[in-house]
Amino acid sequence: MPSSAPAITEFTFDKGLPDPDALTQAWVPAIEQASFNHITDDRFKAFLVAAIRLGANSRRLEGVNVLNLVEKAGYSRSTFFRLFESHTNFLLTGYHLTCSLSIEVYRDLLKGKEMSIEEFAQFTTDVFYGANCTVPNEISQMLWQAHGVSHKAFHPHLPKVSKIILEYLKSNPATSELDVDQEELDGIIHTLDWDMLQARIDLGEVFPTLQQHKRLKRILYGYLVSLA
């Protein structure tokens, strides 16, 4: 029998960059499960899951073409274009949906966990940095060039991240007394996310790197400690 994919929480960046293929294989079933729980349109769901699986196997934009998508999803080309109008629009819609679903995965991973400030900063940075590592830079660059009007428009899921983090910090014993300001937390999350996104879309940058991961963890940890 084939071995099951490792859990997302098994990956840490403390000892080096995880293998991107193994990291992707850990995220794929989690995102698929989240899609079953949060997407009601079966056609959207089928095309999204098809794109996730094709992307995981090829990690190249050319592997997620229309012919492969309709074959994998089990729907016609006419259904695809009726839903999404164009391949580029589909990729952006799929990207936004995947980002939003990754936040739901993060919410589920937090359930039942009691963590110190340091553990929370490590856990959150590992999860979100790992999620960003699963999106090929080539796809991020193409989508940003085609649709990147602003950071907030490109990543509309970020306010939900702040909300989930605030809910957790208030319910977690070690962090429940932190004086967290929602607007300030929003700013921190946007700063961390833009740091990652900029490295992914800038051809002159390298992503991922251990140095960036450590810097982002220090920023999050330093912010939280300052509230104690």
Tell me how far apart the alpha carbons of residues 51 and 206 are, in angstroms, rounded to a whole number: 25
Q: Residues 79, 138: one domain?
A: no
> What pLDDT is recorded for position 2?
44
For residues 138 and 61, the answer to whether their CB atoms sit within 8 Å is yes
Coil, helix or strand at residue 163:
helix
Q: Residues 145, 36: one domain?
A: no
Nearest to 28 by CA among 102, 88, 136: 102
Q: Is residue 72 part of a domain?
A: yes
Phi, psi of 64 (to 5 degrees): -105, 55
pTM of the model: 0.92
Which residue range is the domain that position 58 belongs to? Answer: 19-111
> What pLDDT is recorded for position 1?
37
Q: Residues 225, 168: one domain?
A: yes
Pick the last residue of a domain from 94, 111, 128. 111
> Residues 94-112: pLDDT tens digits?
999 999 999 999 999 999 9
Residue 109 has a CB neighbour count (10 Å cut-off) of 16
Tell me how far apart the alpha carbons of residues 154 and 141 are, in angstroms, rounded to a whole number: 12
Pick the last residue of a domain from 68, 95, 111. 111
Q: Residues 160, 188: one domain?
A: yes
Q: Which amino acid is at 162?
A: S
> What pLDDT is recorded for position 15?
81
Sites in the chain below the pLDDT cut of 50:
1-3
